[in-house]
Every structure is written in structure tokens, then in C-alpha cells.
Amino acid sequence: MQKAFQRIAIFGVGLIGGSFALALKKAGAVEQIVGVGRSQASLEKAQQLGIIDEIALNAEQALCNCDLVLIAAPVAQTGAILKAIYPHLQPGTIVTDAGSTKADVVAAARESLGEKIAQFVPAHPIAGRELNGPEAALVDLYVGKKAVITRLPENSDADVTRVAWAWQQCGAIIHHLEPAAHDAVFAAVSHLPHLLAYALVDDIARKPHADTLFQYAASGFRDFTRIAGSSPEMWRDISLANRAAMLQELDSYTARLSILRQHLVDADSEGIEGIYANAQRARHNWISAIEAAEKQQREGGD
Amino acid sequence: MQKAFQRIAIFGVGLIGGSFALALKKAGAVEQIVGVGRSQASLEKAQQLGIIDEIALNAEQALCNCDLVLIAAPVAQTGAILKAIYPHLQPGTIVTDAGSTKADVVAAARESLGEKIAQFVPAHPIAGRELNGPEAALVDLYVGKKAVITRLPENSDADVTRVAWAWQQCGAIIHHLEPAAHDAVFAAVSHLPHLLAYALVDDIARKPHADTLFQYAASGFRDFTRIAGSSPEMWRDISLANRAAMLQELDSYTARLSILRQHLVDADSEGIEGIYANAQRARHNWISAIEAAEKQQREGGD
């Protein structure tokens, strides 16, 4: 039986950090939450919204008597935040993060935390919205979602279990992956789709008759491009951090596009339908599997 | 003041034709609806669901005493359906369609209807779901959605007004475009996104570790690929019918992807963020414009 956290410090009280705070408070899994970040306005907003109890001016103040630290800032800032944390990191404090990439975060952590690396348990909750900031935080953002822990060889089982417990208190389901495997998977199913959606909206917006085009864009376009409403800074950082895996996925995708383009040029009815039908079938199977898992979760519990 | 239709024939009682039928019945804008189509099972289902009142065995039976005909089958079938209609098409009956492409439909109509071409008023309701068949039909599918009429020089004002009135009874807002302009616009904002979504799911499904990838795909992927759940046959036909415009849009898009790819290779932070931020801004403006229009519609009415 795990006991509640006494004091959690959250670096970055936006959508991800704010939703974590709200969920842990609701679960009674934390006594006090302190926020720290670049934007004083965001911190004050988070305090007004009851997301955090206190604002810390710096890492030293934030880490004082703290048993868990969550870094929920764009991934490119992880190294600098860990460097600021390092001198104030006491034994017994666990540091975790919520970054969408893991290999670069682990490398930054090794560099910044040195001999204290065992205290860093990297993680990634698979949830998001196309809105940012503390106002976007939701108490149930993580309910039924996956939280992937990419543990380090140095991590203790107890610390990994403690981080898993925190995410479970938010309603998340724990998965474990190696950092590199994590990055390869999310390059394919998350990072590349974001890049593709941004590219499409950018392409249309640059056309001289963009206004007419947007006027006739409907719900299909709206859903397809929803992720292009996400934070450009956050996704720039993810793209840079995971660019090797993203390039591989992008090249694989553009190779499929070339084949489809040739089918169009050839008016190859069977070729086009083959690709469309394979995709529709795969997506249908995927959605069915999700729905079955959700049903099992609702009925089975655990 | 338009009066209700006496008898409407619908070729293809699936999502599009079925929703048209349900909406017109609810509005009291039609006395009787007869369905005709390839699948006896779909027709019987549509009759059970109260979408149609009667099943016709052929075009002759369907067109008897009919004042409006809607063709709501995949666009490649339009020519064959119009050929079947032609010998039974009496003066005073208006024929319209709901095809997602218009230049090819107009060409097929000119060939099939000959001297009766003035009776054909081409149209395209901008609404859809990723589900097919009569069970997918919704009474409010067209409420607040656009219906684009691409009138022919031969059409009478009265016939165009009558078709517009039918769609207005379904809650749709009428727009007018030339057939070629229609096809160029929808290649960009609808047909290309469908192709891109199909290509992504197909690409992932072909990978040896597809199961792992799908396991971690989340809500962003779900929305991005929603349109890849659409009917492969319908979208094969649209792709073939509008392939010149789609190739142009695809080439424009892949040129943007090449630029973005080079930014990734160069780790060009500003270049990546420039594209992402431009897209996010354009999408935000588009969504704001939609929401303002919806608000005005709710408050203004008409």
C-alpha cells in the first residue's frame, strides 16, 4: 500500500502538468503541490484554478522537502531544468518527466544528473489536447490512457513502482518500453501524424485562394488537422529530439504516397482500392480492439 | 412558397441518400419516397428503418410519377444510373445527385441524358460519416452543413431553386460553384486528406511490428485517421474521377513535405517551427471563423 506524496514539485503547469496535479489532488494522493516555470502568469493562473498550492521562484525553493518532481515542460528544456534541479536534489526525492520523446531526455538526464541518475524515472503519459496552458488542464485527462515508463537500469524497483502508482492514481494504465523502442513507436503513430497535419494546413494556407479552400473545409478536414492545433514549440522540440526516427517514418510514408501517386497517374482502380481497403480494414480492427479493451476495463476493473 | 414533393426516388439508400430521406420526411417536404439500388438487403433495411416507403425493382418503376430523383451512389455508377433513367424520364421530373465530384458527373450526365440534360441539376452536400449503409443515416446529418449546387447553363432557375429548397429542408446552407472549381476545392480540403489518411494507416499496417504500433496509437491518431474508415469503393471512385486535381494537390503537398524533411535533416529549428506555427495560426483562424458563423446562424436564424 503506497502512501500519499507529501509535496510534489511540477515544472511546467500547463495541460500535462496541470492535469496530473488535478488528478492527484482528486485522488487524495498528495498533500501539497508547488509549481515552477517560465511564465509567472501561468503559475498565477494555475494557483487561481487550484492546480497548485504554492509558486516557487526557483528550483531550490521548489525541491525543498519534495518527494516527487514532475518535469512537464517542452522536451528541449528538460536538460536545463535537470541542471537547475541537480544541486538541490536530495536522496529520497524521485524525479520523473512527461516528455513525448525519451532517448534524448535520458541522455540529457545522464548529463545533468550525473551520479544521481538513479533518481530519474523517465515516463510519458499518452494523452493530450490541442489546447495548452493551465486553463486546458483536465482532472480526467489520463483516465484510461496509457502511461509509458522507460525505466533506466539504475532505477530502483521501489522508485519505478512509486512513479507508476502516481500515474495509476490519475487513472492511467502503466506500460513499460525501452527508451529507443518508445521513440520508434511514437515517431510512427504520433510524431509523424503531427508533422503531416501541420504540413497540410501550411500548404493550404500558403495558396492564393486559401480563404475559399478553408470555407469549404468540413468535419473530415477538421478531425484530420486537429493535431495541427497543438503547440508549435512543443512539436518543434519533439521533431528535433526524435528526428532520426521521424525521418525513417517520413520516408516510409512518402514511399507509400509515391505508389499511390503512380496508381492515380495510371488510373489503377484496383491498386487504389487495395490501399484504401487495407487501411480501412486495419483501422476497423484497431478500433474494435480498443473498444473491446475499454469494455473489458469497464466490466472487469482491477 | 415551394410545395412538398409528391414522390422522390432515391438511387442508393445509404448514409447520404438515407439521411436526405429522413430529413425531408421530418420536414414534411415529401409524401412518398421510393428506394432503388444494387443491394436488396440495404433496400429492405431502409424500408424497415422508415427511410423509404417503397422499393422499386428498376428505374422505370422508380421514376413513375416521380417529381425528384436523387442519385446517391458511388460516383462511378452515375453514368449507368442516368442511362437507366433516361428512357423513363418525363418532363417535369428533376434529377439531382450527391456526388463528391462534379466535372465527371456532368460529363456522364451529358452523355447519358442527351437532350434531357436541362433536367439534371448537379449538387454535392458537404457532410459525411465514416460509416456506410442505411443504418448510418441520420435525420440531422445536413443541419448547418453546406450543399453546393454546380448548376448547368441549361438548368432552369425554377429547377435549381427546387433542388436548393430540398436541401434547405434538410437544414443545409446552399452554395453555388462551377463544376471545375468545385472539384479543385474539394481535391484540396477533402479528397487529398482522405488519400493521406488511407496511406498512413496502410503504411503502418504493412510494417512487421504493426500490432505494437497500433497498441500505442492514441486519440490524435484516431482523429487524424478517422476518414480512413470511409468506404474504400466510394473513395476509389472519387480519386479516379478527380485524379487530375488530386495529383496537383498531392504534388503541392509532397513539395511541402520535402521542405520539412530537409529542415529535419538540418535540425533547422526555426524552419520547423515556422511551418508548424503558420499551420497552427491558420487552423486557429479557420476554427474561429467557423465558430463565429455558427454563432451568427444560431442567433440570426433565417
pLDDT band with cut points at 50, 70 and 90 for residue A132: confident
Strand, helix or coil for residue A253: helix
Any A CB within 8 A of B213 CB? yes
Any B CB within 8 A of A176 CB? no
CB contact under 8 A, B252 and A203: yes
Is the residue at B30 inside a domain? yes
Is the residue at B227 inside a domain? yes
Better-predicted residue by pLDDT, A131 or A106 = A106
In this prediction, residue A296 carries a pLDDT of: 79
- For B210-229, write each residue's pLDDT tens digit: 999 999 999 899 999 999 99
Any B CB within 8 A of A293 CB? no
Are B170 and B206 in a shared domain? no
Are A9 and A79 in a shared domain? yes
Closest residue on chain A to B289 (Cα): A215
pLDDT at A217 over 70: yes
**Count of Cβ atoms closer than 10 Å to residue B15 Cβ:** 26
Closest residue on chain A to B252 (Cα): A203
In this prediction, residue B300 carries a pLDDT of: 63
CB contact under 8 A, B201 and A283: yes
Any A CB within 8 A of B210 CB? yes
Is the residue at B102 inside a domain? yes
The contacts of residue A175 (CB under 8 Å, 6+ apart) are A146, A147, A148, A149, B216
Could you say which of B127, B189, B200 has the minimum Cβ distance to residue A193? B200
Is the residue at A275 inside a domain? no
Buried b (16+ CB within 10 A) or exposed e, A161-187: bbbbebbbbbbbbbbebebebbbbbbb
Closest residue on chain A to B255 (Cα): A203
pLDDT band with cut points at 50, 70 and 90 for residue A128: confident
**Count of Cβ atoms closer than 10 Å to residue A111 Cβ:** 12
pLDDT band with cut points at 50, 70 and 90 for residue A131: confident
Any B CB within 8 A of A201 CB? yes
Are A113 and A248 in a shared domain? no
Closest residue on chain A to B173 (Cα): A216
- Please, what is the Cα angle at B214 between B213 and B215, to 5 degrees? 90
CB contact under 8 A, B223 and A219: no
Is the residue at A261 inside a domain? yes
**Which chain B residues contact residue A246 at CB under 8 A?**
264
Rounded to a whole number, what is the distance in Å from the CA of B275 to chain A's nearest CA? 6
**Which chain A residues contact residue B193 at CB under 8 A?**
200, 220-221, 224-225
Rounded to a whole number, what is the distance in Å from the CA of A75 to chain B's nearest CA? 13
Are A167 and A41 in a shared domain? yes
Q: Which domain holds residue B59?
A: 5-177
Are B207 and B238 in a shared domain? yes
Are A134 and A252 in a shared domain? no
Better-predicted residue by pLDDT, B63 or A231 = B63
- Please, what is the Cα angle at B162 between B27 and B179, to 5 degrees? 115
Closest residue on chain B to A245 (Cα): B264
**Which chain B residues contact residue A294 at CB under 8 A?**
none
Q: What residue spans of chain A are helical by DSSP H?
A: 15-26, 40-48, 59-63, 78-85, 103-113, 157-169, 179-186, 192-205, 210-216, 219-224, 232-241, 243-265, 269-300
Residue B18 has φ and ψ, to the nearest 5°, of -65, -40
Rounded to a whole number, what is the distance in Å from the CA of A230 to chain B's nearest CA? 7
Rounded to a whole number, what is the distance in Å from the CA of A3 to chain B's nearest CA? 30
Domain boundary among B139, B162, B177: B177
Are A26 and A156 in a shared domain? yes
**Which chain B residues contact residue A275 at CB under 8 A?**
198-199, 202
Which parts of chain B have pLDDT scores under 50?
301-302
The contacts of residue B219 (CB under 8 Å, 6+ apart) are A127, A128
Residues 96-155 of chain B with CB under 8 A from chain A are 126-128, 145-146, 148
In this prediction, residue A302 carries a pLDDT of: 44
Any A CB within 8 A of B158 CB? no
Could you say which of B193, B243, B269 has the minimum Cβ distance to residue A220? B193
Find which of A132, A216, A235 to mutate to test the B interface (most B CBs within 10 Å of its CB).
A216
Is the residue at B32 inside a domain? yes
C-alpha span between A43 and B170 (Å, rounded): 48
DSSP conformation letters of B28-84: T-EEEEEEE-S-HHHHHHHHHTTS-SEE-SSHHHHHTT-SEEEE-S-GGGHHHHHHH
Domain boundary among A151, A177, A203: A177
Any A CB within 8 A of B244 CB? no
Pairing of strands A120-121, B120-121: unpaired
The answer to whether the beta carbons of residues A199 and B275 sit under 8 Å apart is yes
pLDDT at A300 over 80: no
Are B191 and B123 in a shared domain? no
Are B34 and B145 in a shared domain? yes
Q: In total, how many domains does chain B have?
A: 2
Are B145 and B211 in a shared domain? no
Domain boundary among A126, A145, A177: A177
Rounded to a whole number, what is the distance in Å from the CA of B245 to chain A's nearest CA? 11
In this prediction, residue B298 carries a pLDDT of: 72
CATH number at residue A197: 1.10.3660.10
Which 8-state DSSP code applies to residue A38? Answer: S
In this prediction, residue A137 carries a pLDDT of: 96
Are A155 and A186 in a shared domain? no
Could you say which of A252, A267, A280 has the minimum Cβ distance to residue B203? A252
Are B147 and B207 in a shared domain? no
Is the residue at A117 inside a domain? yes
CB contact under 8 A, A250 and B267: no
Rounded to a whole number, what is the distance in Å from the CA of B82 to chain A's nearest CA? 22
The answer to whether the beta carbons of residues B130 and B227 sit under 8 Å apart is yes
CB contact under 8 A, A189 and B213: yes
Is the residue at B117 inside a domain? yes
**Which chain B residues contact residue A211 at CB under 8 A?**
none
CB contact under 8 A, A198 and B280: yes
The residue to which cell 430521406 is assigned: B21
Any A CB within 8 A of B277 CB? yes
- For A22-47, write each residue's pLDDT tens digit: 999 999 999 999 999 989 999 999 99
Residues 33-92 of chain A with CB under 8 A from chain B are none
CATH number at residue A26: 3.40.50.720
